[in-house]
Amino acid sequence: AVPGRTGMGLPAAVRDRVAAVHRGSALPERLRLYDGWAARYEQVRGTRRERERRGPWVPPLTAVSPQDVAALEYRAPHLAAASLAFAFPAPRAEARLLDVACGTGLVARELHRRGFRCLHGVDGSAGMLERARSTGLYQELRLCVLGRDPLPAPAEHYDAVTVVGALGEGQVPSTVLPELLRVTKPGGFLCLTTRSNPSNLRYKAELEAALGQLEQRGAWQKLLAQEVEYWERATTEEESTQGTGYISGVVYIYQKCPVPHLEEG
């Protein structure tokens, strides 16, 4: 096989785990999969720089090699945090952020590097939250299944809200957007991501229609919609973008209206 093709040489176990959490399985089953994946998640989805810093991962005897498990090169947390930091006015240390579907804390690490210190997180998986808690980066972590439960926060509570990696087919429905807006302060920022691979195109179209409807209603204004070709490694040839072996994705930055006006003088 040509290197970089047919699932990028990913082992079947990794391909199957990624496919299982992305397909439209029932919610209890999907949460169980994430609970079971929590211990391995960062080895699968960590950035190359993070993996090199951590050093080699010693897998269980039944697992695949660390080189294969670490092969997805998941860039969304880095790209999202960089985009939000670019849009966000200084100072950042006192800004209150909500990391929705926070997983093991990959986004929190990237935000922390960029000066954000007041981080809250929610996730539907208790296993993922346990790993996120161990990072020490969050001031508050709560169990919440977005799309089923309301966010555990009062209205207009956060300066920014991030949803990185969870807006996709078989995961968080696009109907959650008003709830994300509810907990965001007027003038606050929302950073959202989704994938552009073939199996997610229907969801992406629904998401962008919902984003546009809220913009037309004056709920928020779009600051950025950045398409990224090398989002993460593809798990199948069919999902690969033009034979590159990667799938593409997009980062959206919105600002909730009304946007406060700076006083003159």
> Can you give the pLDDT at residue 244?
86
Domain 73-256 has CATH 3.40.30.120: no
Q: Residue 83, Cα to own-chain centre: how many angstroms?
A: 13
Helix boundaries (H) for 102-247: 106-113, 126-134, 177-182, 201-216
Where exactly are the structural domains of the chain? Answer: 73-256
Predicted TM-score (pTM) of the model is 0.76
> Can you give the pLDDT at residue 207?
98
The number of helices, as runs of H, and strands, as runs of E, in the chain is: 9, 7
> Can you give the pLDDT at residue 81?
97
Instruction: Extract the residue ranges of the chain whose pLDDT is less than 50.
Output: 1-8, 21, 34, 37-38, 41, 43-44, 46-70, 265
For residue 11, the tally of other CB atoms under 10 A from its CB is 16
pLDDT digits (tens, 9 = 90+) for 157-210: 999 999 999 999 989 999 999 999 999 999 999 999 999 999 999 999 999 999
> Can you give the pLDDT at residue 94?
94
171, 34 Cβ separation under 8 angstroms: no
> Can you give the pLDDT at residue 203?
97
Termini Cα distance of the chain: 66
64, 55 Cβ separation under 8 angstroms: no
> Can you give the pLDDT at residue 236?
86
In terms of Cα–Cα distance, which of 177, 139, 137, 175 is closest to 161?
A: 177
